[in-house]
Amino acid sequence: MKRKALAVSVSAGIALLAAGGVQAETSVSFSGFGTLGVTHNDNRDADFVANRFQPNGPGKSSPTMFGVDTKAGVQFTAQIGSDLSAVVQAVTDHRVDNSYAPRFEWANLKYQVTKDLYVRAGRVVAPVFMVSDFRNVGYAQTMVRMPVEVYGQNPVSYLDGIDLGYRMGIGDGTLSVQATSGLVKTLAQQGLEVSGHGSLLSLAYERDASTFRFGYFRNKVKIEGDPVDQFLLPFRYASFINYTGAVPIADGLRSRLLDLGYSYDSGNWLAQAEYIQSRVGGIPDSNAGYLMGGYRVGKFTPYLSYAKSVSKRPPRDQQAVASCTNCLTELLAYGINVVNASSHMVLNEQQTVSLGVRYDVAKNVALKMQLDHIRKPGSLTSPNAGWFKVGTPSYPDLYPLAATKDINANLLTLTADFVF
71: left (phi over 0), alpha (psi -120 to 50) or beta: beta
The string of pLDDT tens digits covering residues 166-224 is 999 999 999 999 999 999 887 665 556 778 899 999 999 999 999 999 999 999 887 77
Percentage of residues of the chain with pLDDT beyond 70? 76
Domain locations in the chain as residue ranges: 2-419
Separation between Cα atoms, residue 121 and residue 314, nearest integer Å? 38
Structure confidence at residue 391 (pLDDT): 62
pLDDT band at 400 (very low <50, low <70, confident <90, very high): low
Spell out the residues 6+ positions from residue 7 whose beta carbon is closer than 8 angstroms to its own.
Answer: none
Give the span between the Cα atoms of 195 and 143, in whole angstroms. 31
Whether the CB-CB separation of 255 and 278 falls below 8 Å is answered with yes
Q: What are phi and psi of 236, to 5 degrees?
A: -65, -20
pLDDT in tens, 140-165: 999 999 999 999 888 788 999 999 99
Tens digits of per-residue pLDDT, 79-94? 999 999 999 999 999 9
Predicted confidence band at 245 (pLDDT cuts at 50, 70, 90)?
A: very low
pLDDT score, position 137:
96
Grouping H, G, I as helix, E, B as strand and the rest as coil, residue 235 is helix
Q: Judging by DSSP bridges, how do beta strands 26-41 and 71-80 pair with one another?
A: antiparallel
- Report how many helices (DSSP H) and strands (DSSP E) the chain contains, helices first: 5, 19
Compare 216 and 226 and report the one with higher pLDDT: 216
Locate all alpha helices (DSSP H) within 32-87, ordered by sequence. Answer: none
- Per-residue confidence at 257, pLDDT binned at 50, 70, 90? very high
In this structure, what DSSP letter does residue 313 have?
Answer: -
CATH class of the domain defined by 2-419: mainly beta
Write down the H helix ranges in 66-217: 148-151
Is the Cβ–Cβ distance between 328 and 321 less than 8 Å? yes
Q: What is the DSSP letter of 131?
A: T
**Sign of the CA dihedral with 152 first, then 75, 91, and 64 last:** negative
Of 310, 312, 313, whose CA–CA distance to 276 is shortest? Answer: 310
* Rounded (10°) CA dihedral 352, 312, 129, 368: 10
In this model, does residue 341 exceed pLDDT 50? no
Residues 6, 2: Cα–Cα separation, whole Å: 6
48 or 223, which is more confident? 48
